[in-house]
């Protein structure tokens, strides 16, 4: 498998809060993905600064009338081989900055590809309740979330501000998750290239 | 019960999308609530135009530094007796404009009060998947959602643009839901007035 | 409030597995509830030994043809003031022994009363994913789950086999949960006694 | 693709209730799967008559001490290429007969394969709330549920007792779902045969 073209992974960070912990989680995952040979495209809700969704990309009949940033993002989402979602948890639910970002794009851009959920919290449950809601959302948009969910409790202690791991669980957790993502991403990419996708 | 002070209900509409169906649902519920003697405070995410949440109201140590609009909204949320949530469904999940609005306020403002979920969709499932996620969110912020969920499939046919019902199910559905909300709102208000709330 | 009649609480334990951890959680909660003045009725799925549900109690048109055990249980459920659910987590979901037990009874028996969720696991997430599913089930049958969810990670270390707490979090966790349950149970019982229930 | 070996699909029916509607749904799906060239293995919770789970198959250290029926079922689950879940909805949740059946087997038997959800109800929401819980369970055991969920409202009218469709939506609904299942099942089988599975 040596000469395999790298997997293109879009890494979503869905929080715009002051002092957000998610950035250190995203940095850690970005580092891990680069280190393990992925082609990483980092989409940070804060940097993108998209407003609450008034009109998704696929609702513009004439795509030339859509905001250029959105068209560009849509193209990058569409050409990815898989997705990593870095999600906090607000009130046991998906952070609105994350669902808002994902809702901009049509399900067809995500379909027949896998996704991986990394959830975190400052507390002990690691954002697992939001992760389960996110699994429902990801299923609906077509990028099936792999079995493992990488939960990071006490994210402020597990990672420093640059995303450097502060304990041994971080590397092994990322490895377990990304191994599953890679397997499914290769399986699906091979099959897309071999037979296309339905319809 | 004739002289009972009216229940103060905050009615949340959580969508800012172009051509949103939710407005007709909210108008219908507003009319129903007014007609049945409630004191209704309508909070429309589109009119409020709050950005994606950077800092919730309760994270300002000095409340005088918080945006005046937010302080005013917080006061209105806090003094309500109950809540009605009008929720669409985006990708089987809570519309981000709704979770974003609710996340601005502390759980303590919602606690020991009931809430009621009205969900809708243009399709046949009436937004029920988002409603279930919303039940989790409402539980966490403290306003327990009553048993009944009022689902409105094909909302574009069930209500006209002014929120006038186009079939018999609308009135009976609203009645079932609001009867449960009222019962719990009175039970909890009486108990708050009688013994206060814990801690 | 000195002379208030004790709250009658049905405590459900929904597991029949060999070496189940749930029994120590249920014993702990039973002790806590008794100690704090509740009238506790413990329903243990293992002791009851009900089979997978073929016919719920309310589907017998002639109740005299229903199994006497079921009729008796139904009466006890119906006359309770509130419920405590002790739930493990199987595959991120509600243990079937718990949903199976609850499904035997009509929603009308649970309605207009509160419930409290105690979840546990041998691992670090304390059964929180099952708890969220359970919140949906409890909402539907009418006994609204209070805001707090008492999650017990590493239940095998937190409690001994007799349900004795092995750390300080157990008592404070139970207190937070049951304080909320009591408040809602009193609010709803007072209101039931004052105005009855709808319809 | 003419000479491709048929996909082996285990079709689970998870209800043992009197007058269960699920049997007609399962018959319909069985017919559809056979007609479209699948090798179908139908596992009906009622016929299997397994009790509430005391000990899962993988908890027997010595598999020769496990009940022979369970060992046989486990082998059939393990060698499948994909799964179809026929699920009703009890109290907005997964029917216990379904979760109970699935919980008997280790996640490793389901892993790196896809699953498809068919949900139904006598009412208008088609069991969609249970389906979403089931998506969480299926994710955890490793058989990722495909994006489409085939919901059948008013199942008593949509299918006769032999599973014959009574409207045009049934065939098109089954086709949409199974097309997605097949695509993923082939993608994953090819990849399993090519590189094995992780670890």
Question: What is the pLDDT, as a whole number, of residue B1?
Answer: 47
Q: Name, in order, each residue with C-beta under 8 angstroms of C30's C-beta and a sequence gap of 6 or more.
A: C11, C40, C42, C163
d(CA A42, CA C156): 41
d(CA D125, CA D115): 21
Sign of CA dihedral C72, C117, B95, B23: positive
Instruction: Give chain A positions within 8 Å (CB) of C126.
Output: 124-125
Beta bridge partners of D85: D12, D117
Binary contact (B147, C142; C-beta < 8 A): yes
Q: Name, in order, each residue with C-beta under 8 angstroms of A45's C-beta and a sequence gap of 6 or more.
A: A12, A13, A14, A15, A16, A97, A98, A100, A101, B52
Q: What residue of A is the nearest CA neighbor of B18?
A: A54
Q: What is the DSSP track for B117-151?
A: EEEE-SSSSTTHHHHHHHHHHHHHHTEEEEEEEEE
The residue to which tokens 């009338």 are assigned: A65
* For residues A140-148, average pLDDT: 98
Name the pLDDT band for D3 (thresholds 50, 70, 90). low
- List the one residue out of A141, A139, A121, A142 whose CA is nearest residue A130: A121
* Mutate which: A94, A132, A149, vs C, most C CBs within 10 A: A132
Beta bridge partners of A82: A9
Over the stretch C96-107, which tens digit does the pLDDT of each residue have? 999 999 999 999
Instruction: Give chain D positions within 8 Å (CB) of A141.
Output: 147
Of chain C, the percentage scoring pLDDT greater than 90 comes to 97
Over the stretch D71-123, which tens digit does the pLDDT of each residue have? 999 999 999 999 999 999 999 999 999 999 999 999 999 999 999 999 999 99
Q: Pick from D17, D93, D129: which is nearest to C53 by CB?
A: D17
Name the helix (H) or strand (E) containing B180.
helix B169-195
Backbone dihedral region for residue C195 (phi beyond 0: left; psi -120 to 50: alpha; all else: beta): alpha
Question: What is the pLDDT, as a whole number, of residue C3?
Answer: 61
Instruction: Give chain B positions within 8 Å (CB) of A136.
Output: 92-93, 129, 133
Task: Go through the domains of chain C in sequence order and give each one's CATH number.
Answer: 8-195 (3.40.50.360)
d(CA A153, CA A155): 5
d(CA B87, CA B12): 8
DSSP conformational letter for D166:
S
Give how far B161 is from chain C: nearest CA, Å: 31
Over the stretch B37-82, which tens digit does the pLDDT of each residue have? 999 999 999 999 999 999 999 999 999 999 999 999 999 999 999 9
Over the stretch A78-87, which tens digit does the pLDDT of each residue have? 999 999 999 9
Binary contact (B129, D126; C-beta < 8 A): no
- Residue A2 pLDDT > 50: no
C-alpha Rg value of chain A to the nearest Å: 16
Q: What is each CA distance from C12 to A51, C23, C46, C73, C86, in whole angstroms?
A: 46, 10, 11, 12, 6
Give how far D190 is from chain A: nearest CA, Å: 7
* Helix then strand then coil, % of chain A, to nearest 5: 45, 20, 35
Q: What is the DSSP track for D181-193?
A: HHHHHHHHHHHHH
Name the pLDDT band for B199 (thresholds 50, 70, 90). confident
What mean pLDDT value characterizes chain D?
96
Question: What is the pLDDT, as a whole number, of residue C4?
Answer: 83
Write down the pTM of the prediction.
Answer: 0.97
* For residues C124-145, average pLDDT: 97
Pairing of β D82-87 and β C82-87: unpaired
Binary contact (A144, D184; C-beta < 8 A): yes
- Which token pair is D38? 């699948």
Q: What is the DSSP track for A121-157?
A: -SSSSTTHHHHHHHHHHHHHHTEEEEEEEEEETTHHH
Q: Are B40 and B83 in contact (CB under 8 A)?
A: no
Check CB contact of C198 with chain B, cutoff 8 Å. Answer: yes
Give how far D114 is from chain C: nearest CA, Å: 16
Check CB contact of C143 with chain D, cutoff 8 Å. Answer: no
Q: Which chains lie within 8 Å of chain B at 3 or more CB pairs, if any?
A: A, C, D
Q: What residue of A is the nearest CA neighbor of C126?
A: A125
Question: What is the pLDDT, as a whole number, of residue D199?
Answer: 83
Binary contact (D125, B92; C-beta < 8 A): no
Give how far A41 is from chain C: nearest CA, Å: 30
Q: Are D87 and D117 in contact (CB under 8 A)?
A: yes
**How many other C-beta atoms lie within 10 A of the C-beta of residue A126?**
25
Question: What is the pLDDT, as a whole number, of residue C2?
Answer: 47
Over the stretch B155-186, which tens digit does the pLDDT of each residue have? 999 999 999 999 999 999 999 999 999 999 99
d(CA B20, CA B86): 12
* For residues A144-151, average pLDDT: 98
Instruction: Give chain A positions within 8 Å (CB) of B53.
Output: 16-17, 96-97
Check CB contact of D78 with chain C, cutoff 8 Å. Answer: no
Give how far B140 is from chain C: nearest CA, Å: 5
Question: What is the pLDDT, as a whole number, of residue C49?
Answer: 96
d(CA C92, CA C87): 11
* Mutate which: D91, D127, D144, vs C, most C CBs within 10 A: D91
Name the pLDDT band for A4 (thresholds 50, 70, 90). confident
Over the stretch C25-50, which tens digit does the pLDDT of each residue have? 999 999 999 999 999 999 999 999 99
Check CB contact of A145 with chain D, cutoff 8 Å. Answer: yes
Of chain B, the percentage scoring pLDDT greater than 90 comes to 97
- Which token pair is B74? 């917080």
- The predicted complex's ipTM stands at 0.96
What mean pLDDT value characterizes chain A?
96
Over the stretch D137-171, which tens digit does the pLDDT of each residue have? 999 999 999 999 999 999 999 999 999 999 999 99
- Residue B3 pLDDT > 70: no
- Residue D1 pLDDT > 70: no
Beta bridge partners of C90: C93
Give how far C125 is from chain A: nearest CA, Å: 5
d(CA D66, CA B158): 56
Q: What is each CA distance from D92 to A173, B135, C87, C133, D127, in whole angstroms?
A: 33, 12, 17, 9, 7
Over the stretch A6-37, which tens digit does the pLDDT of each residue have? 999 999 999 999 999 999 999 999 999 999 99
């Amino acid at each position: 498998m040596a000469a395999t073209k790298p997997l293109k992974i879009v890494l979503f960070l869905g929080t715009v809060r002051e002092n957000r912990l998610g950035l250190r989680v995203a940095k850690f995952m970005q580092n891990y993905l680069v280190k393990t040979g992925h082609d990483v495209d980092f989409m940070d809700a804060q940097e993108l600064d998209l407003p609450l969704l008034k009109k998704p990309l696929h609702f513009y009949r004439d795509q030339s009338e859509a905001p250029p940033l959105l068209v560009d993002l849509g193209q990058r989402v569409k050409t990815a081989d898989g997705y990593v979602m870095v999600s906090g948890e607000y009130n046991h639910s998906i952070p609105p900055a994350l669902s808002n970002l994902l809702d901009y794009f049509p399900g067809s851009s995500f379909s027949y590809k896998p996704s991986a959920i990394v959830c975190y919290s400052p507390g002990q449950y690691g954002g697992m309740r939001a992760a389960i809601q996110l699994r429902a959302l990801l299923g609906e948009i077509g990028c099936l979330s792999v079995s493992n969910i990488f939960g990071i409790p006490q994210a402020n202690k597990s990672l420093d501000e640059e995303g450097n791991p502060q304990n041994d669980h971080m590397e092994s957790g990322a490895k377990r998750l990304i191994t599953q993502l890679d397997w499914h991403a290769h399986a699906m990419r091979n099959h897309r290239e071999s037979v296309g996708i339905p319809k």
